[in-house]
Every structure is written in C-alpha cells, then in structure tokens.
C-alpha cells in the first residue's frame, strides 16, 4: 500500500534529454529506500512512476526522467523549492541470494542501476555491470557511467558515442563470451526486447532462472515466476512455480 508524503524539489539538472531531480521528502530519507524501489509523483493527469536513483547514503532522494520531443509534465515544469505529493518508497527490493551480482541494463535504466550498484557495493557485494546506451550526453548520470567504464570489471557500450574510450558492441555478443557463476544474482532492466534477449541468453547458458530477476509492473521478480511466462522466456514448464499478484495499471520509468 502506498504512503503519501509531501516533498520539496531541492535541485534540478538537465543532461541532454534527461532531467535529474533531488527531493527532500517529509518522513522519508534515502536510507529508508530499498534496492530497486521507486516513487510515484502525483499532480498530473496520470501518476508518474520513477525509479529511485540515489543510494542510501545521499542527502536527498534522486530520480530522473527522459523528456523527448518537448514533452512536459509536473516534474519538468516544477521549479526549485516547489512542493509535490509523492508516494515513497514503493515496490519490493532486489535482494541478491549470494555475494556476486551482475547488473545488465540499458538506456534509462541507468537510474535504477545507479541505485543498485552503489547500495550493493556499500553492502560488500561483488558487483559487475554490463550497460548499453546511445550517447553519454543524454544520460542522467554521465559521470557515473564514465566511472564504471574506467573499471575493467564492467562492460560499458555507447552505440552512438564517437570517442574511443567507450565500446560500441552489443551486450548480447559480449555476454556470449562470458562464463557466469551459477550463484551470481543477475538483475536485468531495459526495454522489453532487450530484457527478453538477455534473459533467454542467460537461460541458454544454463543460468538458474531463480537467480535472474527483472522489474515488472512494480515488482522485482525472478524470471521463473508464472506471471512472467507471457514474456516468452525459454523455460521448462516445471520452473514456473511462483504466483505473484500484480497491478498492471502502472508503468515505472527507468
């Protein structure tokens, strides 16, 4: 059940097509928000669902959104020190089973990836990142992506970036070459086609379905949940064991 809070917009930054917002929420600090949770912004014709990008040790809760072709909403039109009505935190948490974690994300999923990476590193997890986007200038947190790219443990590909420091290949091709410990907890987030391709490739590599999670309609679920069968994942019928009730009226923006 959602809990409504008053929030103040403390800062607002524009990065190309992305906007980043820092919020001070009455009764809720970033430390109260779990790994992979989201917020709901009220005041428009429809509520806006946005992934939490901040880590637990930051002063303000951060969220971001991509605004293309001049799109506007209550967040983009709000000025610093404006007041907003927000439900937070919402959704369940991503809780890795073991010490090794692999985050495989694309595009605007950078926000939830940033939240997960920073929190899980703080918890002492061994976290690797495979991430794909078009270009650096439109990302909400470009410095975060640059920092990841400087660590050889991660694979960062920017398909339309012209500088040589970034790779330009497909994550699926890179994933085919990697051996992944079956005990690694994998979180996949991005466009539906991207998620399906990555999940099916992991299953082809015999990675346990219960150790592969995606975010689906406000829930972080292992792909062997029966609610995800419609996604076309290549699993045996016997692996579809978990029943989860989901409200399909929402769409979280990553």
All structural domains of the chain with their residue ranges: 4-90, 100-243
CA distance 206 to 192: 21
The closest of 254, 218, 210, 213 to 114, measured between CA atoms, is: 254
Answer left, alpha or beta for residue 5, where phi above 0 means left and psi between -120 and 50 means alpha. beta
Angstrom distance (rounded) from CA 110 to CA 80 = 24
Cα–Cα dist 69/241, whole Å? 43
- Hey, is 120 helix, strand or coil? helix
CATH number of 100-243: 3.40.50.80
> How do the pLDDT tens digits run along the chain, 254 residues long?
568 999 999 999 999 999 999 999 999 999 999 999 999 999 988 999 999 999 999 999 999 999 888 889 999 999 999 999 999 999 999 999 999 999 999 999 999 999 999 999 999 999 999 999 999 999 999 999 999 999 999 999 999 987 778 888 899 999 999 999 999 999 999 999 999 999 999 999 999 999 999 998 889 999 998 888 777 787 755 444 443 444 445 667 66
For residue 70, what pLDDT is reported? 82
4-90 and 100-243 agree in CATH topology: no
Fold of 4-90: Elongation Factor Tu (Ef-tu); domain 3 (2.40.30)
């Amino acid at each position: 059940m959602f809990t409504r809070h008053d929030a103040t917009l403390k800062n607002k930054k524009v990065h190309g097509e992305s906007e980043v917002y820092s919020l001070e929420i009455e009764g809720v600090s970033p430390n109260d928000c779990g790994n992979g949770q989201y917020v709901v912004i009220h005041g428009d014709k429809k509520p806006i669902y946005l992934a939490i990008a901040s880590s637990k040790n930051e002063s303000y809760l951060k969220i971001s959104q991509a605004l293309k072709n001049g799109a506007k909403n209550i967040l983009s039109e709000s000025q610093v020190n404006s007041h907003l009505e927000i439900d937070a935190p919402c959704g369940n948490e991503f809780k890795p089973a073991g010490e090794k974690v692999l985050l495989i994300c694309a595009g605007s999923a950078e926000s939830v990836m940033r939240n997960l990476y920073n929190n899980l590193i703080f918890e002492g997890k061994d976290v690797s990142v495979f991430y794909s986007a078009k270009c650096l200038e439109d990302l909400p947190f470009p410095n975060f992506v640059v920092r990841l790219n400087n660590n050889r443990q991660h694979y960062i590909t920017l398909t339309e970036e012209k500088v040589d420091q970034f790779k330009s290949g497909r994550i699926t091709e890179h994933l085919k070459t990697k051996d992944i410990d079956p005990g690694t907890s994998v979180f996949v987030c991005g466009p539906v086609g991207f998620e399906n391709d990555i999940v099916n490739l992991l299953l082809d590599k015999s990675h346990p379905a219960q150790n592969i999670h995606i975010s689906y309609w406000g829930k972080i679920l292992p792909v062997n949940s029966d609610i995800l069968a419609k996604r076309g994942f290549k699993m045996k019928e016997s692996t579809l064991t978990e029943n989860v009730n989901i409200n399909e009226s929402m769409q979280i923006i990553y």
